[in-house]
Structure 1
Amino acid sequence: MLKFTQNKTPKLNFKKALKKPIPVKCVQIDEPFEVETMEGVMKGKAGDWLMIGVNDEKYVCDASIFKKTYELMK
């Protein structure tokens, strides 16, 4: 069985992929919160985003990750 760790990149032939621009629903929450996800209960901090994905799954996105990864639509 292969095993991969966080602190070491395996010597594999990685390809590059661009995430498809699929709109998701999101709202920034101004206080600590919890959301039931497909993996269990997830906690969000004040300022984190509550996301609803393409299959109506709910999850938390850290505010700093959101800023790097998402752009709000108009």
Structure 2
Amino acid sequence: MKYRKKPVVVEAIRFFDTTESMLALNDELGLDPVRVSYKDPKHPVLKIETLEGMMIANVGDYIIKGVNGEFYPCKPDIFNKTYEPAEES
């Protein structure tokens, strides 16, 4: 049997190591706290508490707010294959 994914509109913001990105993740998406690790200063990572446990997002990854308010990272290539811009409602 085959199944089609239901159309769902999600909120997402791309993670970059900039003040604007951090503010957008917190203010627009609602991610709180925004925790960035600079253990490797050349490759900062965003740590996200997900339903499956702690996950890591690299610079350029999308942070998605799911239908139940949960957050998770998504690689840009997968994001672009899965999602397209939706009209604002």
- Structure 1 CA distance, aligned partners of 2:54 and 2:85? 26
- Structure 1 CA distance, aligned partners of 2:75 and 2:64? 10
Deviation at 1:21, TM superposition (A): 0.6
* Structure 1 partner of 2:84: 71
**Paired positions, count:** 60
Amino acid at match of 2:10: V
Match runs of 1:51-66 below 5 Å: 51-66=64-79
Deviation at 1:63, TM superposition (A): 1.0
* Structure 1 partner of 2:2: 16
**Residue from 29, 48, 51 that aligns with 2:15:** 29
Greater helix proportion: 2
Runs of 4+, deviation exceeding 3 Å: none
Amino acid at match of 1:69: T
TM-score (normalised: structure 1): 0.74
Identity of aligned residues (%): 40
Return 5+ residue gaps in structure 1 as ranges.
Answer: 1-14
Larger radius of gyration: 1
CA RMSD of aligned residues (A): 1.1
Deviation at 1:72, TM superposition (A): 1.7
- Structure 1 CA distance, aligned partners of 2:2 and 2:86? 25
Amino acid at match of 2:63: L
Deviations 1:7-61 (A, max 9, x none): xxxxxxxx11111111111101114311110111100111101111111011111
